Amino acid sequence: MTEAARPNASGVPRAGFFPSIQGLRGLAALTVVVAHLYAMPMLAGFLPTLPGWLYKVFDTGGHGVELFFMISGFLIPASLVRHGRVSTFMYDRCLRIVPVFIVLHMIVFTLGPIAGYKFFKGIDVGTYVELFLVNLFFLPDALGLPIAQQNAWTLSYEWAFYIWFAAIFVAYRAQNRWAIVALGLVALVAVGYRPNTVFFGIGILFGLMSFRLPVKGWLGLIVAIFCFALMFGLMEYVSVWVALIPGFLLFAVVLTPGSGFAHLLSAHVLQFVGKISYSMYLVHPFVLFPLQIVGRKLAESGVNLWLVWGGFGVLGLTLTVIASTLSYEIIEVRLRGAVDRFMSKRWDVEQMKVQQRA
């Protein structure tokens, strides 16, 4: 869900921007959306009968999350090194993650009790406040409590990774070997608790080495598609640990200049989806929820299930792209910029006061 540096106003890519990574982020977001275009109708009872193999394909869609983890593992360490200071790095991460999350958080906890959404039915004030705070600080999955935003559970582990790597960065600079060993043990415990977080490690490895898979053109595209399908299938039906192998090879192809897959990921459509992918990842359940309710009512009234599901898919995807684009432009760009300018002015004022006292 995190973002590499985008091209600046002159169109020249800034440090850390990889078009293939941007496209992979877009592809990851789309797989999660498509998985919900299948899962939500199934839960609501208006998914028509599908071939058995197609159910299995749809069931793997949610594993776009592991692609996000690999991307973060690759980009975040380099981002921290470029920032040079943990404080500025964490400030940048807050600006990146928090605005969209906070807006949606307030929507859920304002409209949720009115609509009787999820766990809001009949909860008391104390429970409401507890869940408000637990969700605000990205802790529900870690504490085993109800989650308000369907996909925000991954942010708990994104933030944990930011903090963990920042601690590694500080310990390395201080040449504190014991702290590094302790943080390594923390990582092992975290992977034991949530095994798919091991995919952060693939990104970290590629950030430390120059290994690429020398497959160009169509061969690179075929290899990547095979590894993509194999990784998702193994994640769902076999083991996270076995899925690491095709995941590693897939990421190698993504980073290989001239591979057909890297070229595909650089297409304008996937670059655009990659740009709005964070908003898309968090916003699309809000778009699909009312459509799910309408779809259930239409199915109960006897409307053909294929027609209902088809309408849900087309309308849901269209509205998701529109809502995600608006969220990106209004919240990620304008609101984020306004917050940054406000905080920068406050920082300048505080610095002036310090200089005056000196």
pLDDT class of 352 with cuts at 50, 70, 90: low
Here the tokens at position 140 are 């529900």
Burial 143-178 (b: 16+ CB within 10 A, else e): eeeebbbbbbebbbbbbbbbebbbbbbebeeeeeee
Average pLDDT over residues 207-213: 89
Lowest average pLDDT, out of 5-9, 14-18, 162-166, 327-331, goes to 5-9
Average pLDDT over residues 76-99: 94
Nearest to 265 by CA among 304, 84, 256, 179: 256
Residues 323-345 pLDDT 10s? 999 999 999 999 999 999 998 88
In a 13 Å sphere around the CA of 305, the CA atoms on its Cβ side amount to 11
62: DSSP letter:
G
Whole-number pLDDT of residue 6: 45
Whole-number pLDDT of residue 105: 96
Question: Cα(66)–Cα(356) distance, rounded to whole angstroms?
Answer: 50
> Considering the entire predicted model, what is its pTM?
0.91
More confident residue, 246 or 210: 246
Whole-number pLDDT of residue 344: 85
DSSP code per residue over 101-138 = HHHHHHHHHHHHHHHT-GGGTT--HHHHHHHHHHHHTT
Nearest to 34 by CA among 342, 354, 313: 313
In a 13 Å sphere around the CA of 26, the CA atoms on its Cβ side amount to 23
More confident residue, 15 or 242: 242
Hey, what amino acid is at 103? Answer: V
Average pLDDT over residues 12-26: 79
pLDDT class of 43 with cuts at 50, 70, 90: very high
pLDDT class of 1 with cuts at 50, 70, 90: low
Whether residue 27 is predicted with pLDDT greater than 80 in this model: the reply is yes
pLDDT class of 161 with cuts at 50, 70, 90: very high
Residues 48-77 pLDDT 10s? 999 988 988 898 888 999 999 999 999 999
Average pLDDT, rounded, for the chain = 91
Whole-number pLDDT of residue 329: 98
Whether residue 9 is predicted with pLDDT greater than 70 in this model: the reply is no
Lowest average pLDDT, out of 115-124, 220-229, 241-250, 294-303, goes to 115-124
- Please name every residue paired with 259 in a beta bridge, in sequence order, or none if there are none: 217
Residue with the two structure tokens 């990574």: 21
